[in-house]
Amino acid sequence: MAYRSGLIILALAAAVAFAAGLYGYFAPLTGVTGVWGPLLAAFGAFCIAVGALWSLGAGSVAGRAALLLLVALAIVLTLFAAILLHQEVMVVALTVAAICWFVVVAAPKGADA
């Protein structure tokens, strides 16, 4: 998997986590309906997707490294929140995002598909 496709899959996984967080907030009988936790976790997933897409256009190596570091921190913290909220779909989507993050970091920038 190349750098660009890894970031796109990471953003898609974050979009799934965002949808799962909104579902947990709005759907009845999820146990966390109307609580701020799923809404904040959904916002974290949205920030992950924005950071992944933004790092696609990062011009410098330092900017790309800083964005990827912030995306990794957001993935870990949002994953922790999803675990505490018992949002299994969100946990799986953020785990896929974490795996894609490792692939992106391991792939050279010039390895586009």
What pLDDT was estimated at residue 14? 98
Q: Is residue 113 part of a domain?
A: no
Residues 44 and 55: their CA atoms lie apart, in Å, by 16
- CB 47 within 8 Å of CB 15: no
Tell me how far CA of residue 79 lies from CA of 21, 36, 107, in angstroms. 11, 16, 23
Q: Is residue 71 part of a domain?
A: yes
**pLDDT tens per residue, range 52-109:** 999 988 778 888 899 999 999 999 999 999 999 999 999 999 999 999 999 999 987 6
What pLDDT was estimated at residue 63? 87
Tokens of 18: 């965002």
The yes-or-no verdict on residue 48 having pLDDT over 90 is yes
Q: Is residue 7 part of a domain?
A: yes
Q: Is residue 112 part of a domain?
A: no
Q: What is the CA radius of gyration of the chain?
A: 14
Residue 87 is given by DSSP the state: -
Q: What's the total number of domains in the chain?
A: 1
Hey, what amino acid is at 67?
Answer: L
Q: Which domain holds residue 29?
A: 3-106
Task: Cite the DSSP H helix spans in 27-87.
Answer: 36-56, 61-85
